Structure 1
Amino acid sequence: MESRYFTIHSHPQGLPSRDFFALESQALPELAADEVRVQNLWLSVDPYMRGRMDGVTTYVPPFNLGEPLEGAAIGEVLESRDERFTPGDRVVHMGGWRDVAQLPGDSLQALPDIDVPPQAFLGVLGMPGMTAWTGLNRIAQLKEGEHVLVSAASGAVGSLAVQLAKAKGCHVVGIAGAPEKLEWLESLGVSAVSYRGKDAQQLSADLKAASPDGFDVYYENVGGDCLEAALDNIRVGARIAVCGLIDSYNAETPTPGPSNLSRLLIRRARMEGFIILDAQNWEHYPEFLQEIGPLVARGELDYRETVEEGLERTPDAFLKLFEGGNTGKMLVRL
């Protein structure tokens, strides 16, 4: 059996072009002991993958040039030499960016028994959902009735963060761009603020208008002008959970920091970055599923997906993340 996969053969400078990604194929060897062969059904693309293309180890190793790219995927077991899995089992794993994955059984997880579409475990009940829940509850230690600001509020992480904060009775402001994204946030009871065409000063003024009393919690996904504007509006004792800084992921030169970092001192605020796959965070995944899984199954959380069709569209789906081309989770359906 052959596997088709995307790879890269050099490290990009700035935002990669579409032809930077090469679609190649390889014949898969016979299954070794404890290996499993999986037909992928859904692929996830995520902003953090851009950092893995630079050839530098950060909190995860870089992609190996010429080898299949990696990412979360949902698939169905075709063959198995691991007694824990049988043909037909639905599993989640990190052998994405390809149509057929052959992996050690230890790297696969059976899908939890929750009555939701399988791709939900790549989004609202997967790493993005877990990231939103962790950032609010464990990093920012959100309390009922607080004032909360979320950047990239219509994305896979941000859209769950705003709803979890609303569920705690918080006043929530979300930063987004496209009119349809702003409308969706408003339908969720979120005060939506557009970042488009604004510098940090104007965005700061608009955030103050949306929440004159400032913010106790800022959930940071973007950086740049969003971070500077947020710092202008934090309250005494504020907590900032730094999940991502997508504004700088394709920068070709070092990006300047916010000019008002002194606000952390003046407001006695705490700013903390976190990586969701660190053991001290991911060990709480069962707790997250127990709390959020039933809400998703009952339709009490409004999650959205942007879907590209076919393996060939995987790079296109990835690049759209940096153009604001997704509402909710960006997925590829095979």
Structure 2
Amino acid sequence: MSSSKVPHVVLQSSSNYRNMPVIGLGTASSSSTDVTREAILEAIKLGYRHFDTASIYGSEHPLGEAIAEALQRDLIKSRDELFITSKLWCTDNFPHLVLRALQKTLESLKLEYLDLYLIHWPIAVKSGNWNFPYPEEALTTFDLKGVWKAMEECQKLGLTKCIGVSNFSCKNLENLLSFASIPPSVNQVEMNPTWQQKKLRAYCQEKGIILTAYSPLGAAGSMWGSNNVVDNELLKEIAVTHGKSIAQVSLRWLYEMGVTIAVKSFNKERMKQNLEIFDWSLTQDDYEKIDRIKQKQMANNGPVTFIADLWDEALPFAINLLSIS
């Protein structure tokens, strides 16, 4: 698919109303540097122009190499053709560390600016030799107001065109919006037909915040994901009806819900199929079937149950920070 055929959304809190492709290639839990770099180059050939990374993923460096090679091979004419997202990790979630963390990300990517920089999780981790999942003693007070002010300064400096958050609940967003001079452009969260986030979708739509879905296919095969999406019988029925894959049905549903997507696959054929979701539609009957799917959050399988206010739900979901997304 030509990159021109991938729809865009406008990030209204950016300094110049940045256009973001609605589907991007995720690079979490990446393999070797060479595998990651080659997959990104293949994605660029297929028409991907949005790439999602993070300092914790270990994929910033190979992404930067791939961008440089794509320019050298004339696969793209300019870096400006790409939309690059990265994220601030919990160990840098302190006002005095934000700028340097972004500068390190840019050094790894060999870029002058990001298109979008996100706070990865609404928690702060003290310096130290901590293992995942983080023990209670590793966490400290998260100064969201101070960190967000530092994020705003990064945007004003031109080091990132837009700023946003990831894994923020309605409650956390409401707190942020109460003092933000620049509201978040994006909130990236786990979302798919088996974890539909209806309350959060409605809230973000009301506030003009673009939602991006990670794990849109359930992250099957990862150490923390599940087959809940790819094995779902209702999704299988819909896929057969349309002559599409379950993955395509899930991605199309997100797109029709007004949600942008970060989808991880380094398989050429699946990368191609994941772009082939824009020339057909789901039916009302499909919507009703998807509404009946039993809901289950995946990123809740660790021992950090004391951080109950990460989510708006009453249950004190545990966050296994190995499930970095």
Q: Give me the TM-score of the superposition, normalised by structure 2.
A: 0.31
Whose strand proportion is higher, 1 or 2? 1
Whose helix proportion is higher, 1 or 2? 2
Q: Give me the TM-score of the superposition, normalised by structure 1.
A: 0.30
